[in-house]
């Protein structure tokens, strides 16, 4: 008998979801007459299938995102050309450029040099080291994936913690609290830092792509940072305070030889290489161009720069600026893109296709009309409920899939309540990145949990408090900041 290796069977709920997804789609299509309308029913049938598979993750969420490409033409929702256009949306290429920049930073080890340099500045006192890890992780997460930034910081953190395990007094309670604090700080900072920029975390880009495609609402890179950076900074300070002063207070002073570890790691990197200088220059010029885009377009109207154009110029530069011309050496080669998360780009496209179908079929109008007929519903109460719903659901399922599902619904509610779309959509989108309670909520949470220095109840204990703080901050953002900045 031929063997193909060990088979890992689905959990029962995934088996059930695998069957329930297509079955629910078929049943909705086969119901005699119209459930809602002849145009809306097939879109909702596809949406139901996608939502069931997204929530259960019975197959890859990126594979689920391909369903509209097949089903919309078959069900006469859209032709294949119209559906495929969603997978090549400019926002997809904005994120592609961001991924390429991140790959270049990682390939030349510039991200590690930046992190170590920040740690060196924050000193060798225990709480200073925790702050250093959090600042370095958050800064990296603004530009590269929160998973990559966590993976970079984890081995450095483990090296520092090992000093405490091997010292004269052994691994004391205070040592364990320090180790726990460092790990929590890295995970939370990775989640928080991504919110600061449009490319820092996928939910931000999903939201922007939908608004841009459906309502021609454009949010500039710097415009977002005027909200994202202060919000992230406040959350980072609050997280640091609760970790080091309230929940897991250690009484350690200077950690001997921690500075030596950082110095050793920096020495391993050596002086700034030519490749690092080139990548750093491209990265800084790209960031400056994103920040000054509006001014550049005023000074040079013929350029008509967009954030996507700037992103793609940077991506091309990483492949075409020679390091050693005669040797054909460049910062990146195409084979490096094997590590690029293509699935996320497909997920963006699938989410846009789903949203496009719902919009075309009138789903958002239906939601808007229903909400507008409810005279006693408070705008702020509904906003708060949506924020809470998003924040706690993202503890259990993919935040990208969740934003893809809920953002069109939130837009419909905003239209029905006659409030600016961004006033509700932005805080609800940010809530998708505020998952602090459970290890499975985000990759950074899972990575630090796997270190063995954190127990579930320890993460949940502080996480629930940070979730509540996030809700209060996001309601404040919706009420005060969004109307001013957008």
3-class DSSP string for the chain? CCCCCCCCCCCHHHHHHHHHHHHHHHHHHHCCCCCCCCCHHHHHHHHHHHHHHHHHCCCCHHHHCCHHHHHHHHCCCCCHHHHHHHCCCHHHHHHHHHHHHHHHHHHCCHHHHHHHHHHHHCCCEHHHHHHHHHHHHHHHHCCCCHHHHHHHHHHHHHHHHHHHHCCCCCCCHHHHHHHHHHHHHHHHHHHHHHCCCCCCCHHHHHHHHHHHHHHCCCCCHHHHHHHHHHHHHHHHHHHHHHHHHHHCCCCCCECCCHHHHHHHHHHHHCCCCHHHHHHHHHHHHHHHHHHCHHHHHHHCCCCCCCHHHHHHHHHHHHHHCCCEHHHCECCCCHHHHHHCCHHHHHHHHHHHHHHHHHHHCCHHHHHHHHHHCCCCCCHHHHHHHHHHHHHHHCCCCCHHHHHHHHHHHHHHHHHHHCCCHHHHHHHHHHHCCCCCCCCCCCHHHHHHHCCCCCCHHHHHHHHHHHHHHHHHHHHHHHHHHHHHHC
Q: Treating both helix axes as pointing N-terminal to C-terminal, what angle do 421-431 and 202-215 enclose, rounded to 10 degrees? A: 160
The pLDDT, as a whole number, for residue 1 is 42
Report the residue count for the chain.
486
pLDDT, mean over the chain: 84
Please, are residues 475 and 387 in contact by the beta-carbon 8 Å criterion? yes
Q: In the structure, what pLDDT confidence band is assigned to residue 4 with cuts at 50, 70 and 90?
A: very low
At 161 the pLDDT is: 78
Q: How much of the chain exceeds pLDDT 90, in percent?
A: 22
pLDDT of residue 3: 45
Cβ atoms 425, 410 nearer than 8 A: yes
Specify the pTM.
0.76
Tens digit of pLDDT for each residue in 221-254? 888 999 999 999 999 999 999 999 888 887 776 6
The reported pLDDT for the residue numbered 169 is: 61
Cβ atoms of 401 and 61 within 8 Å: the answer is: yes
| Residues 62 and 343: beta-carbon distance below 8 Å | yes
Q: What mean pLDDT comes out for the span 89-117?
A: 82
Q: How confident is the model at residue 2 (pLDDT cuts 50, 70, 90)?
A: very low
Q: What is the pLDDT of residues 27-75, one digit of tens each?
A: 988 887 777 778 888 989 998 998 888 878 788 888 998 999 999 999 9
**Per-residue pLDDT at 482 exceeds 50:** yes
For residue 81, with 0-12 CB atoms within 10 Å meaning exposed, 13-18 middle and 19 or more buried, which class applies? exposed
130 touches 248 (CB < 8 A): no
Give the integer Cα–Cα distance in Å for 212 and 127.
Answer: 43
């Amino acid at each position: 008998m031929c063997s193909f290796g060990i088979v890992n069977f689905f959990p029962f709920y995934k088996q059930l979801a695998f069957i329930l997804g297509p079955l629910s789609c078929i049943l909705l299509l086969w119901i005699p007459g119209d459930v809602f309308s002849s145009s809306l029913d097939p879109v909702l049938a596809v949406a139901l299938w996608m939502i069931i598979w997204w929530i259960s993750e019975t197959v890859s969420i990126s594979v689920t995102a391909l369903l509209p490409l097949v089903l919309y033409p078959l069900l006469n929702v859209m032709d294949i050309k119209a559906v495929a256009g969603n997978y090549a949306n400019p926002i997809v290429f904005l994120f592609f450029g961001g991924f390429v920049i991140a790959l270049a930073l990682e390939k030349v080890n510039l991200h590690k040099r930046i992190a170590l340099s920040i740690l060196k500045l924050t000193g060798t006192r225990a709480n200073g080291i925790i702050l250093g890890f959090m600042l370095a992780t958050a800064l990296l997460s603004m530009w590269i994936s929160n998973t990559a930034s966590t993976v970079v910081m984890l081995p450095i953190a483990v090296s520092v913690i090992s000093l405490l395990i091997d010292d004269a007094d052994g691994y004391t309670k205070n040592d364990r609290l320090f180790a726990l604090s460092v790990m929590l700080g890295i995970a939370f900072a990775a989640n928080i830092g991504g919110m600061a920029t449009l490319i820092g975390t996928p939910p931000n880009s999903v939201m922007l792509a939908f608004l841009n495609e459906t309502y021609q609402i454009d949010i500039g890179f710097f415009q977002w940072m005027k909200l994202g950076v202060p919000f992230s900074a406040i959350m980072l300070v609050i997280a640091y305070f609760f970790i080091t002063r309230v929940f897991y207070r250690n009484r350690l002073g200077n950690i001997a030889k921690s500075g030596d570890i950082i110095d050793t790691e920096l020495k391993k990197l050596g002086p700034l290489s030519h490749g690092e200088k080139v990548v750093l220059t491209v990265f800084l010029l790209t960031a400056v161009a994103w920040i000054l885009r509006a001014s550049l377009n005023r000074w040079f109207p013929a350029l008509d720069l967009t954030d996507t154009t700037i992103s793609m110029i940077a991506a091309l530069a990483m492949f075409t600026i020679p390091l050693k011309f005669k040797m054909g050496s460049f910062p990146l080669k195409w084979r490096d893109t094997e590590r690029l998360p293509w699935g996320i780009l497909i997920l963006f496209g699938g989410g846009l296709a789903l949203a496009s179908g719902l919009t075309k079929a009138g789903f958002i109008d239906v939601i808007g009309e229903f909400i507008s007929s409810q005279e006693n519903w408070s705008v702020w109460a509904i906003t708060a409920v949506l924020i809470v719903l998003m924040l706690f659901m993202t503890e259990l399922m993919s935040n990208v899939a969740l934003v893809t599902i809920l953002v069109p619904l939130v837009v419909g509610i905003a239209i029905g309540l006659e409030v600016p779309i961004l006033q509700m959509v932005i805080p609800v989108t940010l809530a998708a990145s505020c998952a602090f309670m459970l290890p499975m909520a985000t990759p950074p949470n899972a990575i630090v949990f796997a270190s063995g220095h954190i127990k579930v109840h320890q993460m949940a204990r502080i996480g629930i408090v940070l979730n509540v703080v996030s809700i209060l901050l996001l309601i404040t953002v919706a009420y005060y900041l969004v109307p001013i900045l957008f």
